[in-house]
């Protein structure tokens, strides 16, 4: 299950009503958390222990959803990241704005030396 952030909902409304012209980000980035990000980016993104957001790409939307189209591999953890359960898409590699967020189908405990990989096609954003 995925959701649009409050920020993106407002940008969407502005764009499609002609109130404001907004352009798409040149790249989007996958962020990780041990808990929900929520619509207003109130979650706690991982930090430290060699964690950084990673660029993610998507295929064209079809049937109300869009799926990642390449593997995403995070750096090897240099300490515990805890149990990663949630993801978010941001418009910048650090800071920036939360665009979409959701939960992985299964949580994964990441210990020092582990590498978290998100397989191509396994992250889907849906619109209804």
Residue 93 lies inside a defined structural domain of this protein: yes
pLDDT digits (tens, 9 = 90+) for 89-104: 999 999 999 999 999 9
- Which residues touch 56 (CB under 8 Å, ≥6 apart)? 28, 29, 30, 68, 70, 72, 89, 118, 123
Q: Name the residue range of residue 74's domain.
A: 2-120
What is the distance of C-alpha 108 from the center of its chain?
16
Number of structural domains, the chain?
Answer: 1
Specify the higher pLDDT residue, 38 or 83: 83
Question: Is 125 contained in some domain?
Answer: no
Q: What is the pLDDT of residues 8-30, one digit of tens each?
A: 778 777 777 788 877 888 999 99
Asked if residue 22 belongs to a domain, the reply is yes
Looking at residue 42, its pLDDT comes to 65
Task: Specify the pTM.
Answer: 0.89
128 is a domain residue? no
Other beta carbons within 10 angstroms of residue 112's beta carbon come to 12
Q: Which residue has the higher pLDDT, 22 or 80?
A: 80
54 in a structural domain: yes
Residue, of 112 and 128, whose pLDDT is higher: 112
Residue 94 domain-assigned (yes or no): yes
Q: Is residue 80 a part of any domain in this protein?
A: yes
C-alpha angle 111/93/81, rounded to 5°?
10
The per-residue pLDDT for range 51-76, each reduced to its tens digit, is: 999 999 999 999 989 999 999 999 99
**71 located within any domain:** yes
């Amino acid at each position: 299950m995925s959701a649009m952030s409050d920020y993106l909902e407002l940008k969407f409304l502005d764009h499609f009503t002609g109130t404001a012209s907004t352009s798409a980000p040149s790249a989007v980035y996958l962020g990780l958390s041990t808990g929900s990000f929520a619509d207003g980016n109130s979650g706690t993104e991982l930090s430290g222990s060699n964690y950084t957001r990673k660029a993610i790409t998507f295929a064209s939307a079809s049937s109300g959803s869009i799926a990642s189209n390449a593997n995403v591999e995070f750096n090897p953890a240099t300490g515990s990241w805890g149990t990663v359960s949630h993801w978010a898409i941001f418009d910048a590699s650090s800071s920036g704005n939360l665009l979409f967020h959701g939960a992985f189908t299964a949580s994964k405990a990441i210990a020092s030396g582990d590498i978290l990989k998100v397989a191509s096609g396994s992250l889907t954003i849906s619109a209804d």
